[in-house]
Chains A and B, each alone.
Chain A
């Protein structure tokens, strides 16, 4: 049996309480002090110690994990937690961690606008190259959001595999412990999360009313070894290590002991790109959008009520006009506002999953989150309109030599897709399926 660990690292740029009186003041949408303090705190409790442990485990035990880090977090780390970033760079360069791709701004663009989705994926790919010197081959969408419609887009962007939620509604009688293919993009490998074993660590590790508490590395390794199938995919937030599960819960001791326990139980640690080379056992279909969030495993955590839909629509209605300004700072700000967390804070799921939403939210209520966000949208609209009027006036002037430096194209450079053609991929999948039948 193999095990593949994947961790997501992300911190949003939280919007400050932006009132109607702030509209027209021009920018300053984010609560810099809160974002800085939060990041420094998480870096101290989680990123730095956990990465140090993983680096030692990689050198001593040959442990290998995978992680993806949002562009929003990388930029904030550069400013406020460079030690944490340097630790991750060293871990990646030593081969202890494989980096995955995602959208630069941890956005819901895949649900709204494929052009923006592709732009953000390319921006992230460029950032990973510049910051870590690697080009990820495996894709992980924001909050594991996935659908049949998205898979061909991901394949066309050149990825070999994609992480998906191993939801019962999709898998049915099948096990998540195999590599699958995609019905809508046969060349793409799908790596389903084993949510039970993932949540044992991510959510139940400190649950004293859980019959299996306390969870030890040996017990957990034995569970993985006893699971039927080829590979157990354990995916969770990196912040589980020291932030959601505090150091005094024993989570770091668990992590330190895990690779040796896995070895004793005959379990091998593998990375997503190794799994991407394996033959799929079957093709999976995701007719509607699914995610790893909440009990529903759908996208209702971000787009589950009228407020969330209205805010999301208003953001994307500005895309063409904000790109048209060619103002790189303004475009970056607009993209910072596309981060999924802003919509998560507007969730009105008071019951069941409500506690989780409240835990993460910097606002007193979802209505405060919505009102601030919509005030920001109004300010942003005014700024865009002002720039557009300036551009119009400039264009209307008689042509003389423009003394200003040329603006850069705000869109990321395009990459030649590495994906095989659809027909070739289909033919290959057919051959493989025929071989399996035999």
Chain B
């Protein structure tokens, strides 16, 4: 869901514990239970065009370089196991 939104050019606010937050840096991350923080960031991105534009542009750069799918994780897992066995 988050990735689809990012691909559509929508700035995303996400829990800092979510998996996507590990892969994409240009996100607004929040503590899931901190409603004030969530509200603060929602208002910031809605009211501040510079912030929204920056998030869109930086995310789009990141997505260009991001390799999604199972191939890359599989390759990395295989390499890690191989290194551990050696």
Asked if A306 and B54 make an inter-chain contact with CB atoms under 8 angstroms apart, the answer reads yes
B67 on interface, CB distance cutoff 8 Å: no
A424 on interface, CB distance cutoff 8 Å: no
Q: Which residue of B lies closest to A313 (CB)?
A: B50
Q: What 0/1 readout, one digit per residue, does chain A (257-275) give for beta carbons within 8 Å of chain B? A: 0000000000000000000
Task: Name the prevailing secondary structure of the B interface residues.
Answer: helix
Binds B, one of A165-173, A284-292, A362-370: A362-370
Residue among A19, A21, A305, A375 making CB contact with B54, cutoff 8 Å: A305
Within 8 A of B (CB), among A1-57: 19-21
User: Which chain A residues lie closer than 8 Å to B40 at the CB level?
Assistant: 19-21, 371, 375
Given contacts A307-B51, A374-B48, 17 further A-B contacts (CB under 8 A): A19-B37, A20-B40, A21-B36, A21-B39, A306-B50, A310-B50, A348-B58, A350-B26, A364-B16, A365-B29, A367-B26, A367-B28, A367-B51, A367-B55, A371-B41, A374-B44, A374-B51
Task: Tell me, rounded to whole Å, the shortest Cβ–Cβ distance linking B32 to chain A.
Answer: 14
Residue among A19, A306, A370, A374 making CB contact with B36, cutoff 8 Å: A19
Taken together as a complex, chains A and B put the C-alpha atoms of A306 and B56 apart, in Å, by: 12
Task: Tell me, rounded to whole Å, the shortest Cβ–Cβ distance linking B72 to chain A.
Answer: 18
Residue among A21, A305, A364, A371 making CB contact with B44, cutoff 8 Å: A371
Taken together as a complex, chains A and B put the C-alpha atoms of A305 and B61 apart, in Å, by: 14
Residue pairs across A and B with Cβ atoms less than 8 A apart, 26 shown, are A19-B37, A20-B40, A21-B36, A305-B58, A306-B53, A306-B54, A307-B50, A310-B50, A348-B25, A348-B26, A348-B58, A364-B16, A365-B25, A365-B28, A367-B26, A367-B27, A367-B28, A367-B41, A367-B51, A370-B51, A371-B40, A371-B51, A374-B48, A374-B51, A375-B40, A375-B44
User: Which chain B residues lie closer than 8 Å to A305 at the CB level?
Assistant: 54, 58
User: Which chain A residues lie closer than 8 Å to B36 at the CB level?
Assistant: 19, 21
User: Which chain A residues lie closer than 8 Å to B44 at the CB level?
Assistant: 20, 371, 374-375
User: Which chain A residues lie closer than 8 Å to B50 at the CB level?
Assistant: 306-307, 310
Asked if B39 and A20 make an inter-chain contact with CB atoms under 8 angstroms apart, the answer reads yes
Q: Which residue of B lies closest to A364 (CB)?
A: B29
Give the number of A-B contacts (CB < 8 Å). Answer: 47
Taken together as a complex, chains A and B put the C-alpha atoms of A348 and B62 apart, in Å, by: 12
Asked if B54 and A348 make an inter-chain contact with CB atoms under 8 angstroms apart, the answer reads yes
Q: Which residue of B lies closest to A18 (CB)?
A: B40
Q: Which residue of B lies closest to A311 (CB)?
A: B50
Task: Tell me, rounded to whole Å, the shortest Cβ–Cβ distance linking B31 to chain A.
Answer: 10
Residues of A participating in the B interface, judged by any CB pair closer than 8 Å: 19-21, 305-307, 310, 348, 350, 364-365, 367, 370-371, 374-375
User: Which chain B residues lie closer than 8 Å to A367 at the CB level?
Assistant: 26-28, 41, 51, 55
User: Which chain A residues lie closer than 8 Å to B48 at the CB level?
Assistant: 374
User: Which chain A residues lie closer than 8 Å to B76 at the CB level?
Assistant: none
Task: Tell me, rounded to whole Å, the shortest Cβ–Cβ distance linking B50 to chain A.
Answer: 4
Taken together as a complex, chains A and B put the C-alpha atoms of A370 and B48 apart, in Å, by: 11
User: Which chain A residues lie closer than 8 Å to B27 at the CB level?
Assistant: 365, 367
Q: Which residue of B lies closest to A367 (CB)?
A: B28
Asked if A20 and B43 make an inter-chain contact with CB atoms under 8 angstroms apart, the answer reads yes
Task: Tell me, rounded to whole Å, the shortest Cβ–Cβ distance linking B40 to chain A.
Answer: 4
Q: What 0/1 readout, one digit per residue, does chain B (13-42) give for beta carbons within 8 Å of chain A? A: 000100000000111110000001101110
Task: Tell me, rounded to whole Å, the shortest Cβ–Cβ distance linking B33 to chain A.
Answer: 15
Taken together as a complex, chains A and B put the C-alpha atoms of A374 and B41 apart, in Å, by: 12
Q: Which residue of A lies closest to B31 (CB)?
A: A364
User: Which chain A residues lie closer than 8 Å to B43 at the CB level?
Assistant: 20
Task: Tell me, rounded to whole Å, the shortest Cβ–Cβ distance linking A22 to chain B.
Answer: 9
User: Which chain A residues lie closer than 8 Å to B29 at the CB level?
Assistant: 364-365
Taken together as a complex, chains A and B put the C-alpha atoms of A370 and B28 apart, in Å, by: 11
A-B pairs with lowest CB-CB distance, top 6: A19-B40, A310-B50, A371-B44, A20-B40, A306-B54, A350-B25
Taken together as a complex, chains A and B put the C-alpha atoms of A19 and B28 apart, in Å, by: 14
User: Which chain B residues lie closer than 8 Å to A365 at the CB level?
Assistant: 25, 27-29
Taken together as a complex, chains A and B put the C-alpha atoms of A364 and B30 apart, in Å, by: 10
Task: Tell me, rounded to whole Å, the shortest Cβ–Cβ distance linking A96 to chain B.
Answer: 45
Task: Tell me, rounded to whole Å, the shortest Cβ–Cβ distance linking A343 to chain B.
Answer: 14
User: Which chain B residues lie closer than 8 Å to A364 at the CB level?
Assistant: 16, 29
User: Which chain B residues lie closer than 8 Å to A306 at the CB level?
Assistant: 50, 53-54
Name, among A305, A367, A374, A375, the residue most crowded by chain B CB atoms within 10 Å (CB to CB): A367
